[in-house]
Amino acid sequence: MPIHLDSAPVSRRRFVSSVLAMSGAAGGLFGRFGALSAVSESGQDAAEVWALFSDTHIAADPEFNARGINMAAHLRQGLSEAVSAHARKPMQGLLINGDCAYLDGQAGDYATLGSLLVPVVEKGIPIHVTLGNHDERERIQQGLGSVFGSGGQAAGKGSGRVRAELSDKLASCVQGRFCDWYLLDSLAATNKTPGRVGEAQLAWLSACLKAAPDRPALVMVHHNPQPKFIEKVSGLEDTDALLDLLLPLKQVKALFFGHTHVNLTLAVEGLHLVNLPACAYRFRPEQPTGWTSALVDARGCSLTLFDTEKSHELHQKEVRLDWRS
């Protein structure tokens, strides 16, 4: 975990998750990947494309609407656009950052989500899924497994993925050419708003980062970091602990999150904080919905929002994030 749907050659019955063990501790894993530590600086043509989705909120009934929005239709449109973009420039992967299910993570929600993801998998685009507060760890495997099956091959040596050996969190690292994505699990309780990374997951993340100091790292977690002076916590309960880990490690270039249904980028001590918009519905009328293209190279990342309605002022506007050093 998080959930990984493998790429070509694929069939609708192939489902892989990192509950299938990967050998090697953090140090050994990144030792094997050491040859990739020296990243290319050949420019934008060599950059990798990642499609970033968050807060899809898919219900079992694909016709179900919430807040006046058909969530399945929004996701179907976004995935179609991502597949079209993949035909022009192949994508390294598609990431869905939590709150995959509508409310309380029913298996039927994930079965419907899986059916919507089939065209992406069939095009050979790997999909990586994290968990949010509206998800449920057991049922997401059941629901996606009902679409893709559970008899896939384990992610083994050379696959570019490693899972965290944690008893209560589903976290992993996905390696690209220019960066490592650390996909965290902030689900504390299903259908309860706040989230938590937890000490064990932080320790795993710390060990991985310190074992690969020359690899640019991008961290993704569903819940938003929240200043400690806000009394009512609706984001990460252990925000300070996470930032205390990430800020001193200059190899960590950005923290991506969702949860708030807001599109926003800012920086703290050179660390980019990227709030991904919801794919499903907005909480505030001025906010967009949709998905984000991330073009990652050796020096930074260019983000482009694809607004569902194509009318938002930020639609197709590029935001450049230069990596700190």
Condensed to tens digits (0 to 9), the pLDDT of residues 175-204 reads 999 999 999 999 999 999 999 999 999 999
pTM of the model: 0.88
pLDDT at 53: 99
- CATH at residue 25: 3.60.21.10
Q: How many domains are there within the chain?
A: 1
pLDDT grade, residue 227 (50/70/90)? confident
Range of the domain at 287: 3-322
pLDDT tens sequence across 72-107: 999 999 999 999 999 999 999 999 999 999 999 999
Distance of alpha carbon 270 from alpha carbon 213, whole angstroms: 17
Contact 302, 321 (CB under 8 A): yes
pLDDT at 150: 59
**Range of lowest pLDDT (23-37, 124-138, 186-200):** 23-37
pLDDT at 177: 96
| 226-234: long-range contacts, CB 8 A cutoff, minimum separation 24 | 233/194, 234/193, 234/194
Which 3 state secondary structure label does DSSP give 5? strand
Q: What is the 3-state secondary structure (H, E, C) of 187-203?
A: ECCCCCCCECCCHHHHH
Q: Is the model more confident about 6 or about 64?
A: 64
* Burial of 315 per CB tally in 10 Å (0-12, 13-18, 19+): middle
